[in-house]
């Protein structure tokens, strides 16, 4: 089963559009009506939907680290570092096809791979 992503509002729209065109299951906070909502709520929402959160927001990274330290279960965070958009697209597509939710759960992965 492939991974489904939940993008926060900081992820570049070109990444979203390219992945969706390639058939990757992506929804954004904007699609979900949560644009401008708190980072903490966005992470909770991604978990409730069974999706892996993707962000490049340092505040979101801090929340995920707090989850790890507290032992709070979450679906995982894929954190986008500075890199060309193409590298993020390729990494996210690869993860969607080859990784499992169990492999990502409670983890923070820094992309690109």
Low-confidence ranges of the chain (pLDDT < 70): 1
pLDDT of residue 113: 86
Alpha carbons 70 and 97: distance in angstroms, whole number: 30
User: Do residues 73 and 56 touch, judged by C-beta distance below 8 A?
Assistant: no
pLDDT of residue 1: 54
The CA-to-CA distance between both ends of the chain, in Å, stands at 21
- Give the global pTM: 0.96
- DSSP sequence for 40-87: HHHHHHHHHTT-EEEE--HHHHHHHHHHHHHT-----EEEE-SS-HHH
Alpha carbons 110 and 102: distance in angstroms, whole number: 17
Q: Domain map of the chain by residue range?
A: 5-111
């Amino acid at each position: 089963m492939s991974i489904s992503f939940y993008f926060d509002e900081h992820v570049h729209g070109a990444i979203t559009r390219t992945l969706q065109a390639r058939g990757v299951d992506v929804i954004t906070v904007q699609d979900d009506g949560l644009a401008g909502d708190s980072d903490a709520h966005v992470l909770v929402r991604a978990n409730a939907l069974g999706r892996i959160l993707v962000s490049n927001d340092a505040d979101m990274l801090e929340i995920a680290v707090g989850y790890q330290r507290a032992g709070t279960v979450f679906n995982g965070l894929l954190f986008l570092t500075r890199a060309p958009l193409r590298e993020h697209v390729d990494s996210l597509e690869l993860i969607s096809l080859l990784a499992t939710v169990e492999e990502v759960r409670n983890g923070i992965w820094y992309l690109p791979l």
